[in-house]
Chains A and B, each alone.
Chain A
Amino acid sequence: MNKPTRRTSAVLAAVVTPVALIATGALIYGSSYAAFTGQTRNSGNEWATGSVKLTDDDGGAARFRVANMLPDDTQTKCISVTADASVPSTVKGYAINPVTSTAGLENKVKVTISSGTGGSFADCTGYTQVGPNHVTDAPLSAIATVNTFEGGFGGWAVPAGVTAKTYQISWRFDTSGMTQAQIDSMQGAKTGIDMQWEMQSN
Chain B
Amino acid sequence: MSPQSTSAVIAAWTRLAAVLLARGYRASVLTLSAVAIAPMLFGWASFVIKSGSMEPSINVGDVVASRPYEMPEKIAVGRVYVFDDPAAGSDHLLTHRIVELRDDGSYTSAGDANEVTDFTPVSATDVEARAIILAPYVGLPVVWMQVGEWVKLALWLLLTIAAFVLATRNLEGEPPKSNMLGLMLDRRRNRRTTGSSDPGEEPPVTGAPEKVDAHRRGVVPAVLGVVLALFATGLGSANAEYTAQSRNSGNTWTTGPWVQPYVGAVLADAPTAFWLLDETAGTATAQDRSGNTVLGNYKPAAVLGQAGGLPGNPGTSLRTGGGLSLTNAAASVSPATHTFELWARTSSTTGGSLVGFGSSATTAIPPYEDRVLRITATGRITYGDWSTNQLSVLTTPAAYNNDAWHHVVVVSVPSNGNRETTTIYVDGVARVSGQSSRVETYTGYVRVGGGSGSSAFNGSIDNVSVYGTALSASRVAAHWAAR
Chain A residues engaging chain B, CB cutoff 8 angstroms: 1-10, 12-14, 16-17, 19-21, 23-25, 27-28, 31-32, 34-45, 47-48, 50-56, 58, 62-72, 79, 81, 83, 85-87, 89, 96-97, 99, 105, 109, 140, 148-150, 171, 173, 175-176, 178-181, 183-184, 186-201
Closest to B52 in A: A50
Instruction: Say yes or no: A55 contacts B246, CB within 8 Å.
Output: yes
Q: Give me 10 other A-B pairs in contact (C-beta within 8 A), A13-B23, A70-B255, A183-B260 excluded.
A: A13-B20, A13-B171, A28-B32, A48-B113, A51-B242, A56-B246, A63-B251, A68-B257, A105-B253, A197-B247
How far is B53's CA from A87's CA once the two chains are assembled, in angstroms?
11
B245's contact among A19, A35, A58, A196, by CB below 8 Å, is which? A196
Specify which chain A residues have a CB less than 8 angstroms from the CB of B24 in the assembled complex.
16-17, 19-20, 23
Kindly provide the distance from the CB of B17 to the nearest chain A CB, expressed in whole angstroms. 9
Kindly provide the distance from the CB of B467 to the nearest chain A CB, expressed in whole angstroms. 19
Contacts A/B (CB < 8 Å), 15 sampled = A9-B174, A10-B174, A17-B27, A36-B79, A64-B252, A65-B251, A67-B256, A69-B253, A79-B248, A81-B246, A85-B242, A86-B242, A150-B88, A173-B253, A194-B248
Instruction: Say yes or no: B62 contacts A53, CB within 8 Å.
Output: no
1/0 contact string of B450-479 vs chain A (CB within 8 Å):
000000000000000000000000000000
At the interface with chain A, which of B126-134, B190-198, B332-340, B350-358? Answer: B126-134
Kindly provide the distance from the CB of B483 to the nearest chain A CB, expressed in whole angstroms. 13
Q: How many of chain B's residues have a CB under 8 angstroms from any CB in A?
A: 86
Instruction: Say yes or no: A201 contacts B241, CB within 8 Å.
Output: yes
Instruction: Say yes or no: A87 contacts B78, CB within 8 Å.
Output: no
Instruction: Say yes or no: B136 contacts A187, CB within 8 Å.
Output: no
Instruction: Say yes or no: B252 contacts A66, CB within 8 Å.
Output: yes
Instruction: Say yes or no: B119 contacts A196, CB within 8 Å.
Output: yes
Q: Count how many pairs of residues, one from A and one from B, have CB atoms less than 8 Å apart in the complex.
A: 292
Instruction: Say yes or no: A196 contacts B112, CB within 8 Å.
Output: no
Specify which chain A residues have a CB less than 8 angstroms from the CB of B136 in the assembled complex.
27-28, 31
Specify which chain B residues have a CB less than 8 angstroms from the CB of A176 in the assembled complex.
314
Q: Which residues 111-130 of B have a CB within 8 angstroms of A? A: 111-116, 119-120
B87, CB-defined interface residue at 8 Å: yes
Kindly provide the distance from the CB of B274 to the nearest chain A CB, expressed in whole angstroms. 11
A1's contact among B9, B52, B174, by CB below 8 Å, is which? B9
Known: A20-B23, A42-B112, A180-B315. A63 touches B248 (CB 8 A): yes
Specify which chain B residues have a CB less than 8 angstroms from the CB of A178 in the assembled complex.
314
Known: A24-B28, A71-B314. A38 touches B57 (CB 8 A): yes
Instruction: Say yes or no: A54 contacts B99, CB within 8 Å.
Output: no
Chain B residues engaging chain A, CB cutoff 8 angstroms: 8-9, 12-13, 16, 19-20, 23-28, 31-32, 35, 51-58, 62, 77-80, 86-89, 97, 99, 110-116, 119-120, 131-136, 171-174, 241-260, 263, 276, 278-280, 287, 289, 312-316
How far is B260's CA from A187's CA once the two chains are assembled, in angstroms?
10
Instruction: Say yes or no: A192 contacts B119, CB within 8 Å.
Output: no
How far is B176's CA from A6's CA once the two chains are assembled, in angstroms?
12
Instruction: Say yes or no: A173 contacts B255, CB within 8 Å.
Output: yes
Closest to B116 in A: A43
Specify which chain B residues have a CB less than 8 angstroms from the CB of A38 in the assembled complex.
57, 78
Specify which chain B residues have a CB less than 8 angstroms from the CB of A191 in the assembled complex.
252-253
Instruction: Say yes or no: B9 contacts A3, CB within 8 Å.
Output: yes
Closest to A33 in B: B134
Residue of B13, B26, B242 with highest tally of chain A CB at under 10 A: B242
Known: A65-B251, A67-B256, A195-B251. A50 touches B276 (CB 8 A): no
Closest to A63 in B: B248
How far is B242's CA from A19's CA once the two chains are assembled, in angstroms?
37
Instruction: Say yes or no: A50 contacts B55, CB within 8 Å.
Output: yes
Specify which chain A residues have a CB less than 8 angstroms from the CB of B28 in the assembled complex.
20-21, 23-24
B250's contact among A1, A41, A45, A192, by CB below 8 Å, is which? A192
Kindly provide the distance from the CB of A13 to the nearest chain B CB, expressed in whole angstroms. 5
Specify which chain B residues have a CB less than 8 angstroms from the CB of A86 in the assembled complex.
242
